[in-house]
Chain A
Amino acid sequence: MELLGNLGAELWAVLQTLFAAAPYIIGYILLILLMMVIWSGIKRLLTPKHDYSSLKTVTFGDESAVTSNTVASVVSVVLIFVLWGAFTGSKLLPGFLHVPGPFTGDASFTYTITTPDGRTDDATVAVIVHPATVETAAPEIEPGDGIAKNDSTAIGAYRSQLLRVDRNDDMGRDEETFITAVNGEPIAPGDEVRVDFGTVAMSDKGTLNIIPATGIQMEPIWLPAPEAVWVRMTEIATAGYRNSTLAEHLGYSLFRVIVGFLLGALVGIPLGYAMGLSNWFRGWFDPIVEFMRPVPPLALIPLVIIWAGIGEVGKIILLFLAALWIMAIAARSGVSGVRISKVHAAYSLGASKWQIMRHVIIPNSLPEIFTGARVAMGVCWGTVVAAELVAAEKGAGMMIMVASKFQSTDIVLMGIILIGIIGFSIDMLMRWAERILVPWKGKG
């Protein structure tokens, strides 16, 4: 019962986050629709094309009339970078596309103190808000006349500062003298006053908290600008990170995937053939394969670390296991999928069992095996990154995990993008190999 209550609370928290995100999601959808309207307008201006699809009068519900619009794809990808740049103040984008950023520059405000006997005096606080990366000293100022003395401070963008402006005054808290107004507006502990560069709040103890406006751009520590990620990538590509260059990190990950996958295929395909061709082998391995297949390879990581440590052997065993079951099942269904009429035809053309294996069963199972190989490569790539996140000395996953511990968001982003590109390239490569090597796929 308590569990249900807890889960209910968690669900509510998730829903609240979703509701909070709803305006942005709706905005994004409206943007998509707007682009669509704009593009169809542009298209109408261009010379109309009379291809077969454009002459169809029934397109809604006709699956074959729906193709991926290249323009939409391009706009979608460009938009991701534009939004990324706009919310990080990227220098690659013209300034008018930036969303409001944090306030930087010189600013000032005045505060008023009131002594126990009712006298008041004003003083000015000069503030320099500087980008976090540029160390700046507080400006020199004249203390000025009266009880309250002028102050100055330097604050990094996105930061705030608690400042005891009354510390240098002639009368302070010890003399029961308190700040009572900022820029002429009355203030009390817990209150805040808007100023032209942000807000000034007062803590419970009466100290002023200067909060320059942060705008709605992302702080680099949460989301660095695209060019910052690029700079970091070129830097790591040459200088390396954690004693290894970028190529070494990625190379190690790829090496593990390829070796693990090849070993898995080398054992899995014959195993699948045996299961497809012999009742005894099918019966023997069915329980093992059917049990092991739904176990996510990631769940094996702890065991593999206990048994084989965090070195290459452990990783390769893990990837071997990830590929093994997929390849075995693919080979098994490839063999089972052979049309009996093909086998019969081969027998009545005088083929021996071995010839049938070599000329009918193996070529007939290749398309299935290739499909399995594509899935297995994808799973292996995902598994290696996850395994490296847990423990590794080199590798793409290790790189981003360590970077995240040091809040190096630029490295994390770079790593994620590279991992994505490599995963995509692997899939493209497998598809290409499939087209070249098994052109008869799906033609039987």
Chain B
Amino acid sequence: MSGLQLDKVSMRFDLPNGSSVQALKDVSLDLKAGELLSVLGPSGCGKTTLLNIVAGFLAPTEGQIILNGHTVTGPAAERGMVFQQGALFEWMSVRENVGFGPSMKGMPKAEKAKIVDHLLDVVGLQDFKEKAVYELSGGMQQRVALARCLANEPDVILMDEPLGALDALTREKMQGLVLKLWKETGKTIILITHSVEEALLLGERLIVMAPRPGRIHKEYRLPFAEMGVGQDLREVKKHPQFGETREEILGMIWDMEEEIMGRTETA
């Protein structure tokens, strides 16, 4: 069985004062290999917890994650992760960062150099190969992070708001790059984002999560990711269905936020 299955994943944290928080409740999902899923939701709905469980950094209290037929028990190279920022190793050059995964596997130097060179070409950083990562701009750093993740040939790429800290223009370029990489490599990608537009543009499938307990509220299948590959993303945004869906989801999240606010006020 290939693909990634989330089977009734629940997560409960016990607090020091004896009470507990239900961060996730019965989240089930079936992703085929090569699918691109974006995850939206108000703050505190358990998006990041879900991603950490899939990555294997957290063990769910109930349920399980199944990747290509085996249960996930911890972090592994098959599930690469791209963080918002600050996860690059600043004591290594761009080349060493991208080659980190292959190095850990003990790959021969020549072979590793080929992979690194290829990926730096793909993300357009060939000229910055020997630079220290802290000398690069935020957008370049995220391209290094993408290349570092891809160098390891993971089956699934998990992205935790990878473009969240970038300015609007850089962000748009990077969205194009993510789509291009998705199409070229055929990886399964889960992308967490705060931006509804980004979720629509990059999500072949999109789930909106609701908080307390964190759960899947609504799921969409969207044509925009497919439309956007190699295209001007601004054109995609002009599509009438794009605007409608965006308004619908925004309203949905707005209502959830309102409800949270109301609940805290009466509590």
B105–A443 contact, CB under 8 A? no
In the assembled complex, the Cα of A358 lies from the Cα of B208 at a distance in Å of 40
Over the window 89-102 of chain B, the binary record of Cβ atoms lying under 8 Å from chain A Cβ atoms (1 yes, 0 no) is 11100000000110
A348–B79 contact, CB under 8 A? yes
A346 at the interface (CB under 8 A from B): yes
B267 at the interface (CB under 8 A from A): no
B104–A351 contact, CB under 8 A? yes
Write the nearest CB–CB distance from B136 to chain A, whole angstroms: 11
Spot the interface stretch: B80-88, B117-125, B185-193, B233-241.
Answer: B80-88
A349–B134 contact, CB under 8 A? no
Write the nearest CB–CB distance from B99 to chain A, whole angstroms: 10
Output the nearest chain B residue to A347 by Cβ-Cβ distance: B75
A348–B55 contact, CB under 8 A? yes
Residues of B with C-beta under 8 A to A342: 86-89
Residues of B with C-beta under 8 A to A345: 81, 83, 87-88, 148
B89–A363 contact, CB under 8 A? yes
Over the window 426-444 of chain A, the binary record of Cβ atoms lying under 8 Å from chain B Cβ atoms (1 yes, 0 no) is 0000000000001110011
A91 at the interface (CB under 8 A from B): no
Residues of A with C-beta under 8 A to B104: 346, 349-352, 355, 359
B81–A443 contact, CB under 8 A? no
Residues of B with C-beta under 8 A to A360: 89
Output the nearest chain B residue to A440 by Cβ-Cβ distance: B90
A339 at the interface (CB under 8 A from B): yes
A344–B55 contact, CB under 8 A? yes
Other-chain residue from B88, B132, B152, B158 in contact with A350 (beta carbon distance below 8 A): B152
Output the nearest chain A residue to B134 by Cβ-Cβ distance: A443
Residues of B with C-beta under 8 A to A438: 91
B91–A440 contact, CB under 8 A? yes
A383 at the interface (CB under 8 A from B): no
A341 at the interface (CB under 8 A from B): yes
Interface residues of B in 98-120 (CB under 8 A from A): 100-101, 104-105
Residue of A344, A350, A360 contacting most chain B CB atoms (<10 Å): A350
B13 at the interface (CB under 8 A from A): no
In the assembled complex, the Cα of A347 lies from the Cα of B79 at a distance in Å of 10
Write the nearest CB–CB distance from A239 to chain B, whole angstroms: 51
B261 at the interface (CB under 8 A from A): no
B80–A349 contact, CB under 8 A? yes
Residues of A with C-beta under 8 A to B83: 341, 344-345
B33 at the interface (CB under 8 A from A): no
Over the window 329-357 of chain A, the binary record of Cβ atoms lying under 8 Å from chain B Cβ atoms (1 yes, 0 no) is 00000000001011011111111100100
A348–B81 contact, CB under 8 A? yes
Task: Describe A's contact surface by its main secondary structure.
Answer: helix
A114 at the interface (CB under 8 A from B): no
Write the nearest CB–CB distance from A410 to chain B, whole angstroms: 50
In the assembled complex, the Cα of A271 lies from the Cα of B83 at a distance in Å of 31
Over the window 64-87 of chain B, the binary record of Cβ atoms lying under 8 Å from chain A Cβ atoms (1 yes, 0 no) is 000000000011110111011011
Write the nearest CB–CB distance from B148 to chain A, whole angstroms: 7
Query: Known: A342-B86, A355-B104. Contact between A348 and B76, CB under 8 A?
Result: yes
A344–B152 contact, CB under 8 A? no
Residues of A with C-beta under 8 A to B132: 439-440, 443
Interface residues of B in 179-213 (CB under 8 A from A): none
Residues of A with C-beta under 8 A to B220: none
Residues of B with C-beta under 8 A to A347: 56-57, 74-75
Residues of A with C-beta under 8 A to B77: 348-350
Output the nearest chain B residue to A345 by Cβ-Cβ distance: B87
A150 at the interface (CB under 8 A from B): no
Residues of B with C-beta under 8 A to A177: none
Write the nearest CB–CB distance from A370 to chain B, whole angstroms: 13
In the assembled complex, the Cα of A440 lies from the Cα of B105 at a distance in Å of 25
Residues of A with C-beta under 8 A to B148: 345, 349
Residues of B with C-beta under 8 A to A350: 76-77, 101, 104-105, 152
Over the window 404-444 of chain A, the binary record of Cβ atoms lying under 8 Å from chain B Cβ atoms (1 yes, 0 no) is 00000000000000000000000000000000001110011
In the assembled complex, the Cα of A363 lies from the Cα of B92 at a distance in Å of 9
Residues of A with C-beta under 8 A to B81: 344-345, 348
In the assembled complex, the Cα of A348 lies from the Cα of B56 at a distance in Å of 9
Over the window 356-385 of chain A, the binary record of Cβ atoms lying under 8 Å from chain B Cβ atoms (1 yes, 0 no) is 000110011010000000000000000000
A344–B86 contact, CB under 8 A? no
In the assembled complex, the Cα of A406 lies from the Cα of B2 at a distance in Å of 89
Residues of B with C-beta under 8 A to A439: 132
Residues of A with C-beta under 8 A to B55: 344, 348
Write the nearest CB–CB distance from A264 to chain B, whole angstroms: 24
Over the window 239-279 of chain A, the binary record of Cβ atoms lying under 8 Å from chain B Cβ atoms (1 yes, 0 no) is 00000000000000000000000000000000000000000
In the assembled complex, the Cα of A352 lies from the Cα of B106 at a distance in Å of 12
B87–A349 contact, CB under 8 A? no
Interface residues of B in 141-171 (CB under 8 A from A): 148-149, 152, 154, 158
Query: Known: A348-B55, A439-B132. Contact between A341 and B87, CB under 8 A?
Result: yes
Output the nearest chain B residue to A352 by Cβ-Cβ distance: B104
Residues of B with C-beta under 8 A to A341: 83-84, 86-87
Query: Known: A348-B55, A443-B134. Contact between A363 and B80, CB under 8 A?
Result: no
Residues of A with C-beta under 8 A to B158: 348
In the assembled complex, the Cα of A363 lies from the Cα of B158 at a distance in Å of 26
Residues of B with C-beta under 8 A to A366: 91
Residues of A with C-beta under 8 A to B100: 346, 349, 351, 359
A363–B91 contact, CB under 8 A? yes
Residues of A with C-beta under 8 A to B154: 348
Known: A346-B89, A346-B100, A350-B77. 4 other contacts (CB 8 A): A348-B76, A348-B79, A351-B104, A360-B89
**25 pairs from A and B in contact (CB 8 Å cutoff):** A339-B86, A339-B87, A341-B84, A342-B88, A342-B89, A344-B55, A345-B81, A345-B83, A346-B100, A347-B57, A347-B74, A348-B56, A348-B80, A349-B100, A350-B77, A351-B104, A355-B104, A359-B104, A360-B89, A363-B89, A363-B91, A364-B91, A366-B91, A440-B91, A440-B132
The 5 A-B pairs at the shortest CB distance, nearest first, are namely: A350-B77, A443-B134, A347-B75, A363-B91, A341-B87
